[in-house]
Structure 1
Amino acid sequence: MLWSALLLPPPSDNAPSPIEPATLQALAIWALQFTPRVALADDAVLMEVAGSVRLFGGRRALRDKVWGEGRELGVGQLAWAPNSLAALALARAGRENGLRGPLEALLDALPMAVLSAVRPHALTLSHIGCRTLGDVRALPRGGMARRFDKALLTALDQTYGLAPEVHQWVGLPETFEARLELMFRVDEASALLSGARRLLLQMAGWLAARHSGVTAFTLHWAHDVMRSREVGEGGHLTVGTAEPTRNVEHLSRLLAEHLGKVELAAPVGDLRLSADTVHRLTEASASLLPDNAVHQGETLHLVLERLAARLGPERVLRPVLTEDHRQEWMCRWQPAPLVLPRKPAPGPELPQPTFVLPQPLRLAMRGNRPIYQGELQLLAGPQRVEGGWWDRVSGTPVDEAETTRYMARDYWVALSALAGVLWVFQTRLDHEPAWYLHGHFA
């Protein structure tokens, strides 16, 4: 087995100060992304991660990820050992690696105060000359059983791996909401990001444990109690994303863009973050190659989201295919953050052109064949496109004859000796059917 202990206060020779249960619970929920076997013990969070090592790429990679994010959440010490109480004792002593060398030798050298069960009897044990766990373990078991309670012997056996441990596992809540009291009052909205990032890390851990992503979250802030009555108790800001994500860096940048537009009515002392809309994510399979060159940059939709938050959604557009076979209205430009990915519809039988003309160009004829930089040779077709009766021209009275963009065309792939492969069509149902050039192939 492999256990890790996350200690919130920095290591100290004195007994650690009490930690708020809500703070420990928040850290435990974040830790559930690494393993479902998470437990609380006094001032620490314990994780059994033997089954998660390969998932995160080995012990070193797992350690770096836990330590890197844990420090931002206030973790002061990290330790690894074959059992939970040994890991906790090592963390309190400021020793990280409990896997190198015999466990008994490592534990015997630790101060006896690192074991919670020793603390009620620390004065008595010090009077008889005990200073380390090795000193306590060397005492006669019969005398210890008569003088001290059974919990001390049980804890010693469990720490040294001689007795099984029993834990009450932390459960994953169905919804996420976390609160943070700021270390000082904040007057600028942009300064809220430092505290909000800690809450985003906790939310990302909760989302990872649920294999989900968020498309909307809300940051609430509470004004200082010394505020004016007119400003109210606080405010809030809801941030949405185009698709589910739990990328902390992206969410932080997105939140920063929105906070840059907020003016606080009064100093802020407390923050609260809630996950509003959560969707399950389909996890991508990792490469089988040991040294895969995965692109670590941002994806297109993340860049567009951040630009839209900075410039305004109406200034960042992206093309979206619509369910329309008419070439002019097959694509619509919409605000990028509002475009959700969807499965593409089945494509037409003929290939589609790379470049489409803003307006179709009528072609000259030579006999029955169209001409464009030479006589055209029809390669494939026709693809019949007929529709548009539903597409009414805006501003046109209903009683006029031409009120819709109705069309009836036969599209062909054609070859020109000089212009290359072209996309042309012949009109149907017109008084004088004609040929038009509508696009070019790259």
Structure 2
Amino acid sequence: MSMHWAALLTNVTCDKSLRTDPAGIAVWALQFTPRVARVDQAVLLEVEQSLRLFGGEDRVHELVEAGATELGITELAWAPTSLAALACARVGIRDGFSGPLTNVLDPLPYECVDAVNVHGATLARLGCRTLADVRMLPRGGIRRRFDSQLLLALDQAYGLCPEGYQWVTLPETYSAKLQLPGRVDTAPALMFGARRLLVQMGGWLCARQCGVTAFTLHWCYDVMRAKDAGDGGKITVRTAHPTQNVDHLCRLLTENLAKVTLLAPVGDLILSATEVTPFIEESRSLIPDDRPTGESIDLVLERIEARLGKKRVLRPVLTEDTRMEWMNHWQPMNAKRPATKVRQVSGPQPTWILKTPLKLDVKGERPLYQGPLQLLLGPERVEGGWWHRAQDADGRQSSLNVGRDYWVALSQHAGALWIFQQRLPKDTAASWFLHGLFA
């Protein structure tokens, strides 16, 4: 299954003296995707399912890279796997999609993959310098001489084995701390660090689909302060309407800090979202909310079709097919609908279907996906397609006949899954595939 990963190195910043907490960067990244993980001093994002939401690959790259720059991150990379993105970021390669993954990774030093670098001394004595050198070693010998993590990491980096992470969870409230690089004597100078905290809060607000109406900036005085100065101070800024606009919040905070006098030098900042409300954005639907009474949805869609073109407004149509991939197709609004019979479903159907089923590993005839799977319900046999032929790029005809046994399975980490066991061709061993996920 195609993936799109980003890796951000939080220990490599444009300002060595002002480091943003990796946990705060991970929370900020949740505005782009719920699949965010922390690995050592790096933050990993899997954004494949978010590309269309944000307007395509280029737009997602632009947003992530702009935010990373605001947070002081200078080294980041994009690649089809998380370990490949992390390796590219460590050697300064921004685009891991510039060619086939093997061509991108093979020339890289093996030090850029942690599980391989652990055995760096031994690999160096064997004459290995790059990932390609390590891959050329006999797999059996690697398995006996090194731990299992080395081969697993290589397979995951090259996309030969699925990756699994403990995803970062979105906190219910926002509060972040930042240690300043030096003693700050004037309140307006606090904005340099406060802006980074506001950028993080903006990501948290987007992820929660909320707007802030009040936030509080706390500052802690340096330990070398006068006794009557106290521990620190704070200022609360309020907005007229819920907002996620970081620039607007920065302007408000700047105006308020201009009126503050510090009693001692400041060493740390803490930003908290004091009042948060659900954020209701302006509707951008093509269907007007104030349609005249009595006007049907079909008439509105006809106007939209005239504006955008017939190939841009489509409707799903069921077909008489038991195979999930061909159970429906899309056709223009005005096309004649064929008379079809709806297939009676005997078992539960998943909420999301993978475009291409993901082959699962098997251990002791038991399918694995982030751990062993427990079969709950099934099997439901689906067969058909012997009449269906497809033509590839070379003009050759191939059959799309399938024979599958579908099961509802339970994963300890991923929840309820829809998997099937391949029954065709009969002369090969039956394989397990992940085809859908339940909400």
Q: TM-score range by the shorter chain?
A: 0.5 to 0.7
Give the equivalent residue in structure 1 for 2:7: 5
Give the equivalent residue in structure 1 for 2:240: 242
Which amino acid letter does the alignment assign opposite residue 2 of structure 1? H
Asked whether the equivalents of residues 40 and 170 of structure 1 are also in contact (C-alpha less than 8 Å), the reply is yes
Which amino acid letter does the alignment assign opposite residue 218 of structure 2? H
Q: Distance in 2 between matches of 1:10 and 1:180?
A: 17
User: What does 1:352-367 correspond to in 2, within 5 Å?
Assistant: none
Q: Distance in 2 between matches of 1:82 and 1:266?
A: 50
Q: Distance in 2 between matches of 1:229 and 1:284?
A: 51
Deviation string, structure 1 residues 230-276 (Cα, Å, up to 9, x no partner): 10010000000011001000000000000000000000000000000
Give the equivalent residue in structure 2 for 1:200: 198
Could you tell me how far 1:36 is from its partner in structure 2?
Answer: 0.7
Which amino acid letter does the alignment assign opposite residue 3 of structure 1? W
Gaps of 5+ in 2: 287-303, 305-439
Could you tell me how far 1:126 is from its partner in structure 2?
Answer: 1.0
Give the equivalent residue in structure 1 for 2:79: 81
1:37 counterpart (11, 35, 38):
35
User: What does 1:166-177 correspond to in 2, within 5 Å?
Assistant: 166-177=164-175
The reply to whether residue 49 of structure 1 matches residue 51 of structure 2 is no
2:94 counterpart (90, 93, 96):
96
SS in 2 for 1:256: helix
Deviation string, structure 1 residues 328-367 (Cα, Å, up to 9, x no partner): xxxxxxxxxxxxxxxxxxxxxxxxxxxxxxxxxxxxxxxx
Which amino acid letter does the alignment assign opposite residue 141 of structure 1? R
Which amino acid letter does the alignment assign opposite residue 277 of structure 1? E
Q: Structure 1 vs Structure 2: percent identity of aligned residues?
A: 58
Over 3 Å counting, the alpha-carbon distance change for 1:286 and 1:86 in structure 2 is: farther
Q: Distance in 2 between matches of 1:266 and 1:139?
A: 62
SS in 1 for 2:228: helix
Deviation string, structure 1 residues 285-342 (Cα, Å, up to 9, x no partner): 34769xxxxxxxxxxxxxxxxxxxxxxxxxxxxxxxxxxxxxxxxxxxxxxxxxxxxx
Give the equivalent residue in structure 2 for 1:185: 183
Q: Distance in 2 between matches of 1:76 and 1:133?
A: 24
Which amino acid letter does the alignment assign opposite residue 100 of structure 2? P
Give the equivalent residue in structure 2 for 1:124: 122
Q: Distance in 2 between matches of 1:284 and 1:95?
A: 39
SS in 1 for 2:7: strand
SS in 1 for 2:21: helix
Q: TM-score scaled by structure 1?
A: 0.62
Q: Which stretch has the larger CA shift, 231-240 or 71-80?
A: 71-80
Q: Distance in 2 between matches of 1:113 and 1:64?
A: 29
1:229 counterpart (219, 227, 245):
227
The reply to whether residue 24 of structure 1 matches residue 28 of structure 2 is no
Gaps of 5+ in 1: 12-16, 290-442
Q: Distance in 2 between matches of 1:124 and 1:72?
A: 41
SS in 1 for 2:49: helix
Asked whether the equivalents of residues 213 and 244 of structure 1 are also in contact (C-alpha less than 8 Å), the reply is yes
Which amino acid letter does the alignment assign opposite residue 235 of structure 1? G
Runs of 4 or more off by more than 6 Å in structure 1? none
User: What does 1:316-335 correspond to in 2, within 5 Å?
Assistant: none
Could you tell me how far 1:284 is from its partner in structure 2?
Answer: 2.6
* Aligned alpha-carbon RMSD (Å): 1.8
Q: Distance in 1 between matches of 2:117 and 2:84?
A: 16
SS in 1 for 2:118: helix
Deviation string, structure 1 residues 6-40 (Cα, Å, up to 9, x no partner): 112339xxxxx9x99x8111110000000011111
Length, aligned pairs only? 282
User: What does 1:18-417 correspond to in 2, within 5 Å?
Assistant: 23-286=21-284
Which amino acid letter does the alignment assign opposite residue 260 of structure 2? V
Q: Distance in 2 between matches of 1:186 and 1:81?
A: 40
Asked whether the equivalents of residues 211 and 283 of structure 1 are also in contact (C-alpha less than 8 Å), the reply is no
Q: Distance in 1 between matches of 2:258 and 2:30?
A: 32
SS in 2 for 1:152: helix
Deviation string, structure 1 residues 131-189 (Cα, Å, up to 9, x no partner): 11111111111111111100001000010011111111100000000000001110000
Q: TM-score scaled by structure 2?
A: 0.62
